[in-house]
Every structure is written in structure tokens, then in C-alpha cells.
Amino acid sequence: SSSSEGMNLVVVKDDERQLLNIEPIPSEHLLDTYKRKIADEGRLFLDEFQSIPRVFTKFSIKEAKKSHNQNKNRYIDILPYDHNRVELSEIPGDLGSDYINASYIDGFKEPRKYIAAQGPKDETTDDFWRMIWEQKATIIVMVTRCEEGKRNKCAQYWPSMENGSATYGDIIVRIHESKTCPDYVIQKLHITNGRERTNGRDVTHIQFTSWPDHGVPEDPHLLLKLRRRVNALSNFFSGPIVVHCSAGVGRTGTYIGIDAMLEGLDAEGRVDVYGYVVKLRRQRCLMVQVESQYILIHQALVEYNQYGETEVSLSELHSYLNNLKRKDPPSDPSLLEAEFQRLPSYKGWRTQNTGNREENKSKNRNANIIPYDFNRVPIRHEDDCVKEGEHDSDDSSDEDSDCEESSKYINASFITGYWGPKSMIATQGPLQETISDFWQMVFQRKVKVIVMLTELKEGDQELCAQYWGEGKQTYNGIEVQMTDVNCCPSYTIRAFDVTHLKTKETQKVYQYQYHKWSGLDVPENPRDLVSMILNLKQKFLARPITEDNRSTRGVPLVVHCRDGSQQTGVFCALMTLLESAEVEEVIDVFQVVKALRRTRLGVVSTFEHYQFLYDTIASTHPAQNGQIKKSSQQEDKVEFCSEVEKTDKEADLITIDLTPSQPGENGPSEVCDDSRAADSTKGTESSTNGPATPVLT
């Protein structure tokens, strides 16, 4: 800064004077306080956030500005204060060799619990690993992807599995294991110092991959899950936890803020988010960079406070479930029943205008089960289909009140599965008049498997129109030919060739009809159902999620029962839970059902259905002496991946049972441009445009 010393003194006073006196929030008032502050477009949150100085000018920033250190900084205005910068050991004759853009950060009680760092640049990866070695750090939390929206956010500073190892200065980094999960990647690394004859040490690198390019994650639970993974790794000997994003302030500050405040909530039953963010800013400028991140910390605290921890590892599932089912005294509800009662219903949390239109009412089998507008499945009109791919009508949303002009209505909803949004479609059993719409949807979405969880009739009542026939049938320009039938004891598999008569394109579709499950009951034999799921997963291409196949529009799986909610909801939840059990060896029934309820009405609506999910996973993974016994069907392992854009998420940020109105435009993004002008007052991260979160009423 070119301001004189005299000016600086005035600024210092202003720094402190603009701070507000915000009371800590007791846990029992968290939800009400949140609702109060988010009201009126988040005005109170904005006032709080804007009162915190972006930089405390009383702290000097000299080392970072020295000419020999300038190219080590990713952003010219995000620099560590001198008083708590991480100092590397000096290399004789190398000017500035003790400098890295990283700051020590105090935890809730523990001094220097974290190091907040910028994402390494190609020129600073050697320094970064030297810091990891010298600080004896064993956990790195990376809250960015290397590239986002064609922008370089961070160098890839670790070796790939193909290469196995890489050398950064004196530090040799070997990679032993890399595990990809839907929202994060965990890599087990081992580092040694070529100059020292000491033993190497293990370092765990956990990269969170679900932070959207703009805004914040829609579900604060994702960050609670990340924290759980990180804290499962940390112990007394793990050294400071190194957290970085690109600049090392926005997402980094948000993660640290959530971790520290949850620790405080557990320890004291209250949280001082405002006070802690002020403390963060005294240790690194711009920590918690935009208002939406400040709000996200509060959302994560509310989520945790409302619902607690419901994830359980498979090895502990049996004893955990027995404990949940115990009634003490017998007249009281069990813990499992209490858990089910805590689930929010989300009824009416989003609009359902399209399905309730006069011209669409006859297309609904059950007038109470109407898809939400934001995730209903649009069908392109025939003329558009021929121009395949010229425009994508996926983006039907609350704002899109007239999106029917370009798409037909069907009572069907996109469902988020284990690997991300739009992994499945839940729909009602077709009515006679909607059979051709059903097949158009199957064809347009390149569906590979249809799961039918109902019979055609129950007594005289039609549950589902027969949407196929023997031989060839034509439904409004789509020809469906049954090519094979295979009957198993509890389910039937039918194979169809589905041909678009105009374009002559044919797709192979398999239908699995499960016979042993009526309405509100649970399946007679859950093992049958699981073996059917393992069988149908063979029909998907096993493809790891990559940026390339995320963008294809196909949805591999359509699930229907009579109304597309009762059995369908339980089945979709079970698919996700089985996948989670296989990949991560943990399940979270509560969170899976909670997320599912936001996508369609009436799913997992009874306690029997909820308990069935727990029981089925427990019976599929029998425990022996605390170890999980691998089921004999494990060799049927095929990854079931969504092939759709992860960023295609609605901005429904609130998972607690509140009613958001329309999300506004995304708020300002974080600093993300290396070539920014030196005048840091023009920062892109100003929050004066109002919150980047849905406003709650």
C-alpha cells in the first residue's frame, strides 16, 4: 500500500471500530437465529459479513511483497501477514527460500491447528512439499479441482497412479492408493526426504471435488461428510492440517470455519461464528471470502445441530442397528423410530406448476404425486429430436414457468443417485394415454434399464398400463420390439429393441419386473431384490466418472411402480445405499432418504420402508467378528455411474425444513484470475450484490 504511516494509523482504528458486537449463538437457538438472519434477502448476514475488515492493516505484509517472492504468489492481493506466515528453512544462497504463501491458523482452542495455503503453482510445488515435510503434516485437504471452468486453479502437485512417484526438490512422493468417491478423492501418499536418512512418513491427500464453479455446494451435508473423513484420519501426531483451495482464503476459510465451529458446538453448546471469522481474518486476509460462504458455515452448523451424525460403517452396522431398535421402556418409540420422525417432509418446498396444469392433469395417475418443476424430466417434441443435441431442454427449473413451450410433460423426476444428479428417473406406471410419452423419454434419455416394481393389475384396479406387447408395437413414431424374456423366481427380465422410426436409430433396453412387492408393504424377500439389482447393474457400462462422460445426457435407469413414489422411492434409496456400502463401506440411510425427499413427493413415507432399508443392507453385509463378510455376490461388481454434469445442480442450499423462494443469481465468485490488476480494491469477491443463497421465508 502506498499510504503513509499517518494514514495507516487512522485505518487501523477504523479496522477495529467497524466490528460489530455479535452474540454467540446457543445450539437451541441456531435454527431460529438462522431463519431470522436469512430473512429479507439475508440482510443481517450481509451486515455482519461486511463489517469484518477484508485485511487488518495493522499487520505487516513485507516478505510476500519482496521482488524475489512475487512470482510465488498466485494472486497479487492475497498475501500472508508476516506475523504468522509459515517459514521454510532457508537454503543458503537462495534469496527468499524461506517464503511460501501459507499462514498458520488457530483452531477452536488449539493454536496453529491448521495451515491455510494457496494452491501450489508449478513454480512452488517443491516449496509446498518442503513445507509438508518440515511441518510434519500428514493430512492435506484440497478444496478445489486443478482446473475449473477452463481456469487453472492449482497445479497437480502429486504423482499420478500411472507414474507411481515423483520428486519435488528433495522430497520424493510415492502414491500407494487412490480412491474416487462421488464428492472427494482420497490418495494415500508416502514421502521421504532424499537429504535425510530418516524414515519417510505417510500423508493422506483428500480432495473435495464437488464445490461448484460458482457459488457454494447446494448441500452443507457434503462438507460435514468431508470433515468426518478428515477427522477420521487425524490424531495427536498428525501435525497441522494443511487446507488449500486456489487462493487459500475462500473455500479454505469456510472449511476451517465449519470444522472449528462444530468443535465449539460439541464442546460448549454454542457458537461464535462472527468472532471466529474475525479471528481468521486477523491470521490471513479475506478468509471466508464471500457472504454465501459465511452463510454456508451457519447452514452446516444448523444441519449438524438438527440431525446429528447418522452415518455408520458396515463393520458396526449390526450393533448400531440393534441399539437403534431397542425400546426402553417398551412403550417408548425406539431410537430408529425417532430418527425416522426427524426426517423433514419437504412437502411443498418447490413448485409443481407444470403437472398441475389443466391440460396435464389427466396424465397423472395419482393427483397427489406431482413432480416438482425444478427436476421434472422434459420430453423434447419430435421435431426437436431429429435435431438431436442442438439445444438441451434439461434445464427446466422453477424460473422456467413456460418451459413446456419447448417440452412435453410426463410425470417423471430426475433422481440424484450415489454418483451424482440425474443418475435415475422415477416415474409413475404409464397410463394408456402416456405410453408413447414414456417410450419417448426412454429413447431420448438413452435409458438402458427399466425397473418395474408393480404388477399391471391388483384385482380390478389398474396399477400400470401394459406398455409393451408380444412382437412389434409402435407408439407414436417409436417402435418397440420384445426380443427376449427370461423368468427368474421373483422377477422377469425382458429385452427390447427400441427404434426411432424417423432416424432409424435403435437402442437396446432391458426391463426388470419385480413381482414380490405390493404398495405399502415391504418386499417378501429382500435378498431377491438385491440379487436382481446386482444382475441389472451388469447392463450398465461400468465407467468411472470423468469430465467427458459427465456431460452426456443419458440417464441409465428408469424406475417405476404405480405412482412413481412408494416402491420406487425405496428402490432408489436402496440403489444408492448399496453403492455407498460397496465403495466406501459406510451407509447413511437418514441422509440418503432426506436428499431423496427433496426430489419427489411420497418417497420412503412409512417407518416400515425406512427400517427395510437398514435391514436390507445389514442382511446383505453380514458381520463376522467386527469384519464385514464379503457377500458371495460381490464378484458382480460393476460401477453404476451417472454420466451427467455434476455442476447441473439447482441452488437449493438449505437442507433444513424451510421453504426457500427462488434462488437469485449466483453471487460474486472468488478471486480466480492470476492477471488481476494490482488495485485490490477492485476485487471480484465483493459481496455488495446481496446473498448468493436462496432466501428463506
Domain 358-636 grouped into CATH 3.90.190.10 = yes
Bridge-based pairing state of the strands 557-560 and 420-427: parallel
How much is the average pLDDT of 540-560?
64
How much is the average pLDDT of 676-694?
36
pLDDT digits 0-9 by tens, 97-106? 999 999 999 9
For the chain, how big is the Rg over CA atoms in Å? Answer: 27
Nearest in space to 165 (alpha carbons), one of 155, 174, 156: 174
Query: Distance between CA atoms of 54 and 281, rounded to whole angstroms?
Result: 7
Bridge-based pairing state of the strands 557-560 and 449-452: parallel
CB 406 within 8 A of CB 412: no
Q: Is the pLDDT of residue 184 over 80?
A: yes
Q: Is the dihedral of CA 523, 376, 600, 364 positive or negative?
A: negative
Q: Band the pLDDT of 12: cuts 50, 70, 90.
A: very low
Q: Band the pLDDT of 238: cuts 50, 70, 90.
A: confident
How much is the average pLDDT of 539-567?
72
Q: Band the pLDDT of 37: cuts 50, 70, 90.
A: very high
Nearest in space to 156 (alpha carbons), one of 107, 115, 203, 205: 205
pLDDT digits 0-9 by tens, 625-653? 555 555 444 433 333 333 333 333 333 33
Q: Is 43 in a helix, a strand, or coil?
A: helix
Q: What DSSP string runs through 222-253? A: HHHHHHHHHHHH--TTS-PEEEE-SSSSHHHH
5-308+666-682 folds as Protein-Tyrosine Phosphatase; Chain A (3.90.190)
Strands (E) across 464-531 are located at 472-475, 478-487, 491-500, 506-514
Query: Distance between CA atoms of 39 and 37, rounded to whole angstroms?
Result: 5
Residue 314 CB neighbours (<10 A): 23
Q: Band the pLDDT of 656: cuts 50, 70, 90.
A: very low
Q: Which amino acid is at 398?
A: D
How much is the average pLDDT of 113-123?
98
Give backbone dihedrals phi and psi of 26, rounded to 5 degrees, phi first: -70, 150
Q: What percent of the chain has pLDDT over 90?
A: 74
Q: Is the dihedral of CA 561, 566, 567, 572 positive or negative?
A: positive
Q: What is the pLDDT of residue 537?
A: 85
Q: Which amino acid is at 523?
A: P
How much is the average pLDDT of 259-278?
98
Strands (E) across 66-183 are located at 102-105, 114-117, 139-142, 147-148, 151-152, 165-168, 171-180
pLDDT digits 0-9 by tens, 291-335? 999 999 999 999 999 999 999 999 999 999 999 999 888 889 999
pLDDT digits 0-9 by tens, 388-409? 444 444 443 333 334 445 689 9
Q: How far is CA 684 from CA 49, 210, 281, 671, in A?
A: 16, 22, 18, 6
Query: Distance between CA atoms of 559 and 569, rounded to whole angstroms?
Result: 9
Q: In the chain, which segments carry CATH 3.90.190.10?
A: 5-308+666-682, 358-636
Q: What is the pLDDT of residue 235?
A: 81
Query: Distance between CA atoms of 372 and 600, rounded to whole angstroms?
Result: 7
Q: Band the pLDDT of 555: cuts 50, 70, 90.
A: confident
Cell of 316: 458396526
Burial 110-140 (b: 16+ CB within 10 A, else e): eebbbbbbbbbbeebbbbbbbbbbebebbbb
Q: Is the pLDDT of residue 541 over 60?
A: no
- Residue 201, exposed/middle/buried by CB under 10 A (0-12, 13-18, 19+)? middle
CB 577 within 8 A of CB 546: no
Cell of 399: 424460473
Cell of 203: 500423508
Q: What is the pLDDT of residue 530?
A: 95
Q: What is the pLDDT of residue 626?
A: 52
Q: Is the pLDDT of residue 234 over 90?
A: no
- Which of 72-86, 189-203, 357-371, 654-668 has the lowest average pLDDT? 654-668
Query: Residue with C-alpha cell 476459510?
Result: 253
CB 327 within 8 A of CB 334: yes
Q: Band the pLDDT of 519: cuts 50, 70, 90.
A: low
pLDDT digits 0-9 by tens, 432-486? 999 999 999 999 999 999 999 999 999 899 999 999 998 899 999 999 999 999 9
* Active site residue ranges: 245, 561
Q: What is the pLDDT of residue 531?
A: 93
| Mean per-residue pLDDT over the chain, rounded | 86
Cell of 129: 512439499
pLDDT digits 0-9 by tens, 127-176? 999 999 999 999 999 999 999 999 999 999 999 999 999 999 999 999 99
Q: What is the pLDDT of residue 524?
A: 84
Q: Is the pLDDT of residue 43 over 90?
A: yes
Nearest in space to 464 (alpha carbons), one of 481, 451, 477: 451
CB 652 within 8 A of CB 598: yes
Cell of 171: 522430497
Burial 365-403 (b: 16+ CB within 10 A, else e): beeebbbbbbbbbbbbeeebbeeeeeeebbebbbebeeb
Cell of 338: 425417532
Q: Band the pLDDT of 518: cuts 50, 70, 90.
A: confident
Nearest in space to 574 (alpha carbons), one of 521, 520, 629, 611: 611
Q: What is the pLDDT of residue 499?
A: 97
Largest CA distance in the chain: 90
Label residue 642 left, alpha or beta by phi (over 0 means left) and psi (-120 to 50 means alpha): beta
Helices and strands per DSSP (H, E), number in the chain: 16, 28
Q: What is the pLDDT of residue 661?
A: 36
Residues 6+ apart with CB under 8 A from 215: 292, 651, 666, 667, 669, 692
In 3-state terms, the chain is what percent helix, strand and coil (to 5)? 35, 20, 45
Q: Which residues are registered as beta bridge partners of 580? A: none
Query: Residue with C-alpha cell 500423508?
Result: 203
